[in-house]
Structure 1
Amino acid sequence: MDKNDRRIAFPTNDRINVEEHFGHAKEFAFADVKDGKVISTDYVTPPAHEPGVIPAFVGAQKATAIITGGMGGMAVNLFKQQNIEVILGAKGTIEETLKTYLEGELASTGSACDHDHQH
């Protein structure tokens, strides 16, 4: 991929809004961006949520960034090990969130989950 080409992952349950907890998403939207413009969006069903599975799945989809509401510290580290940018604290529609991100205006709030998920 060219440095101007990006593939941005968004967890979603309705193909419209960003799911605030990535591990509970029914699907992931993968937006392919070339020269700052969205050229396509794919929707892919993730494997069952287990520790470490979703970061590997998103990496296998060749994502360069994941934008979500929150996730645990272990998941953040697993994404970063694959050179996938992690943006936390996102909510609202995928379309608006992606637009804000591409304008360079979306900052991660760093809201990593620290509650127990009974894993």
Structure 2
Amino acid sequence: MKTKIAVTYENGEVFQHFGHTKEFKFYTVEDKKIVDSEIVPTMGSGHSMLADFLLLNGVTVLICGGIGGGAKAALAQKGIELRGGVSGNADEKAQAYVDGTLEYNAAVECTHHHDHDHENCSEHDHHCGGHCH
């Protein structure tokens, strides 16, 4: 069976902000071996579009650092398995997933994420952590 893994990617590492990732590294897995990989730009997709982007590219598993609740829900709705709270070398983490040894945090959720248009953050009574502008 063929599996496609996506890792939020920046300079060889797992990028720590799912909704702001500029590229993914896709890994194609067959017979418990990584047989192919490629770096794919997200073309500026935001939180809401990234789950669709992954689904359209045949991804069944996402490995990432931080992720907000809305994005987690979107991935679940698309049937994409999430392995969040991961950091370090992207290639090593993808291989760890294939080997069944990947350490991750099933409960990871960035509390500074929210499901609205970031251009209107000043209207809300919260701190955006500098991610709104």
User: What TM-score does the superposition give when structure 2 sets the normalisation length?
Assistant: 0.79
Number of equivalences: 115
96, 108, 112: which one aligns with 1:100: 96
1:118 aligns with 2:132: yes
Deviations 1:50-81 (Å, cap 9, x if unpaired)?
Answer: 33111111111110010000110110111111
- Listed as ranges, the matches of 1:71-90 within 5 Å are 71-90=67-86
1:20 pairs with 16, 20, 35, which one?
A: 16
> How far, CA to CA, are the matches of 1:108 and 1:95 in structure 2?
15
CA separation in 1, counterparts of 2:19 and 2:43? 10
Is the contact between residue 15 and residue 65 of structure 2 (CA under 8 Å) also seen in structure 1?
yes
Task: Give, in whole Å, the separation in 2 of the partners of 1:23 and 1:74.
Answer: 10
Which 5+ residue runs of structure 2 have no aligned equivalent?
A: 113-127
% identity of equivalent residues: 31
**Equivalent residue, structure 2, for 1:69:** 65
Higher helix share: 2
User: 2:25 corresponds to which residue?
Assistant: 29
User: In 1, distance between residues paired with 2:47 and 2:62?
Assistant: 17
Q: What secondary structure is seen at the aligned counterpart in 2 of 1:86? A: strand
Q: Which amino acid aligns with 2:132?
A: Q
Runs of 4+ displaced beyond 4 Å = none
- Root-mean-square deviation over aligned CA pairs: 1.6
Say which one has the larger Rg.
Answer: 2
What's the secondary structure of 2:13's corresponding residue? coil
